[in-house]
Amino acid sequence: MHEANRLKRLPLYLFTIIDGLKNEAINAGLDIIDLGMGNPDQGTPKHIVDELCKTAVMKENHRYSRPIDKSEIELRGAIAAWYYKKFGVSLDPKSEVLPLIGSKEGIAHLSLAFLNNDDIALVPNPAYPVHFNGVLIAGGILHNIPIYEKDGYLPNFQKIPNDIVEKSKLIFLSYPHNPTTAVANMEFFRDAVNWAKGKEIIIGHDLAYSDIAFDGYKAPSILQVKGSKEMCIEFHTCSKTYNMAGWRIGFAVGNRDIVKTLEKTKSYIDFGIFKPIQYATIKALSGPQTCVKRIIGIYKKRRDFLVSGLKEIGWDVPMPKATFYVWARIPDKYSALTSMEFVSLLIKETGVVIAPGTGFGEYGEGYVRFALVEDISRLKEGIKRIKRVLEMET
């Protein structure tokens, strides 16, 4: 059996490689401290789980979910209300909101919905992998836009060659940014919208870390820019804000024609979201938000601890303003290694798992990413073990 060429074009998925290395370390008897995947380690807040349990026993909630069903109408309403409260942007729940089976699903399907074989999608590199993998699966042409530390990891739209822009149908943006933790201000989003205007280019903005921000920083929505509803769709997730990663729930909001086409694409592929998950999500979005504050507080403590701990052992890394990652240049001593080689060394020597920058694209080379998904005592232990590697004879 030969898999389709579109699958052959995909790079091996980062976490498949990391899982292999992790298993080898486990088999060698190492205790794993897993800071690899951005997979929240804390549970979903109780009032959300309670709503799932309450609605899961009702047999009317076991059927396929349809857009005209009560659960979906209420969920769209709750999303629009949450959005207005957070960003001051009004959305029509019926035509400008679309619940997703996780934002990753929606992002991948956006490419499938819009790209023909000769259409280009512009993707900043490094990026969250589905931004580029979705393009390849859809059979579109991927055009990487390298983004660099010196530019705050923001793309310069004016530098994209005209012949590329002319064939482009889609650009992905995502700030706060995974993996680099870079943030963007309203001026950047204004520039993006102005640039895309009149070009028939869709802007897909992935705002997965809308709530995970620190020190007074507030992540803007691209939909706050005047005129953005002409060409923007924004993706959100409950995975990070409410620790609901395994539930598979997210949503897209924005331009009604883009939303409609994405919805049409999905209607051929899935049957919506399990209704009890929809009801629980309504609780999450419209219930008390103290749980979100608590979750952010936990990540902030971990961030502070890891950044200062690494500094103490001689590894100076920037303090992120948002996301639950720390993005770090490979220590000088190991700068001759690729990020994958350095991560393999760390896993084999210490059992500490982090992600190599190249898992997010070739321009991630030279960097690694820590996910703050273990508690302080484990971070302390991890730093101790990393110190050993930094002091090792090479």
Ligand X SMILES: Cc1ncc(COP(=O)(O)O)c(C=O)c1O
What residues make contact with ligand X under the rule CB under 6 A?
38, 102-104, 128, 174, 178, 206, 208, 237, 239, 245, 250
CB of 99 to ligand X, least distance (A): 11
Contact 26, 5 (CB under 8 A): no
Beta carbon nearer to ligand X, 80 or 238: 238
CB of 221 to ligand X, least distance (A): 14
> Alpha carbon of 347 to those of 112, 246, 324, 354: distances in Å?
36, 25, 21, 8
Beta carbon nearer to ligand X, 103 or 133: 103
Q: Which residues contact 217 (CB under 8 A, 6 or more apart)?
A: 183, 321, 322
Beta carbon nearer to ligand X, 131 or 169: 131
Q: Which residues pair with 302 in a beta bridge?
A: none
Contact 163, 169 (CB under 8 A): no
CB of 175 to ligand X, least distance (A): 10
Beta carbon nearer to ligand X, 120 or 212: 212
Distance CA 334, CA 276 (A): 49
Beta carbon nearer to ligand X, 259 or 383: 259
Q: Alpha helix locations (H) across the chain?
A: 5-8, 14-27, 46-56, 70-87, 103-114, 130-138, 162-167, 186-196, 238-241, 256-267, 275-286, 290-312, 339-350, 376-391
Beta carbon nearer to ligand X, 38 or 351: 38
Beta carbon nearer to ligand X, 128 or 189: 128
How much is the CA Rg of the chain, to the nearest whole Å?
Answer: 21
CB of 237 to ligand X, least distance (A): 3
Record the tokens describing residue 181, joined without a space.
């933790």
Minimal CA–CA distance to 250: which of 126, 128, 124? 128
Residue 338 DSSP symbol? -
User: Quick one: CA dihedral 79, 236, 188, 297, positive or negative?
Assistant: positive
CB of 91 to ligand X, least distance (A): 19
Residue environment code for 157-167, b if the CB has 16+ CB neighbours within 10 A, otherwise e: beebeeeebee
CB of 37 to ligand X, least distance (A): 8
Beta carbon nearer to ligand X, 274 or 315: 274
Q: Tokens 């390849």 sit at which residue?
A: 136
CB of 280 to ligand X, least distance (A): 15
CB of 18 to ligand X, least distance (A): 14
